[in-house]
Amino acid sequence: MSEQRQEHDIEFGGPATYRIVVQGVVNQDWADRLAGLKISTTSRGDHPAHSTLEGPIRDQAELSGVLETLYGLHLPILKVEKID
């Protein structure tokens, strides 16, 4: 197998910008507990509201903490996307 880095390889060691989408409403008061991510919520008619959290995350430990917090709030995580 080649030692060259593949285009689809993920770098886990450093900072990156992420977008996380959950079903439900995340109050802006939680931003400090969620790595300072920008929180926006959208509602679409009869469908449940979705909240999108976006911003820089320092490392995988911080990402794990954000995801654990959302899990603890019983919010279904719909998408986690690295957007760098």
pLDDT at 61 over 60: yes
How high does pLDDT run on average in the chain?
Answer: 89
Longest dimension (CA), the chain: 50
Contact 39, 51 (CB under 8 A): yes
Residue 56 pairs in a beta bridge with 17
In this prediction, what percent of the chain has a pLDDT beyond 90?
A: 77
pLDDT exceeds 70 at position 12: no
- The model carries a pTM of 0.83
pLDDT digits (tens, 9 = 90+) for 25-53: 999 999 999 999 999 999 988 989 999 99
Three-state secondary structure along the chain? CCCCCCCCCCCCCCCEEEEEEEECCCCHHHHHHHCCCEEEEEEECCEEEEEEEEEEECCHHHHHHHHHHHHHCCCCEEEEEECC
Percentage of residues in the chain having pLDDT higher than 70: 85
Domain ranges for the chain, please list them: 16-82
CATH of segment(s) 16-82: 3.30.70
pLDDT on residue 14: 82
Return the higher-pLDDT residue of 6 and 78. Answer: 78
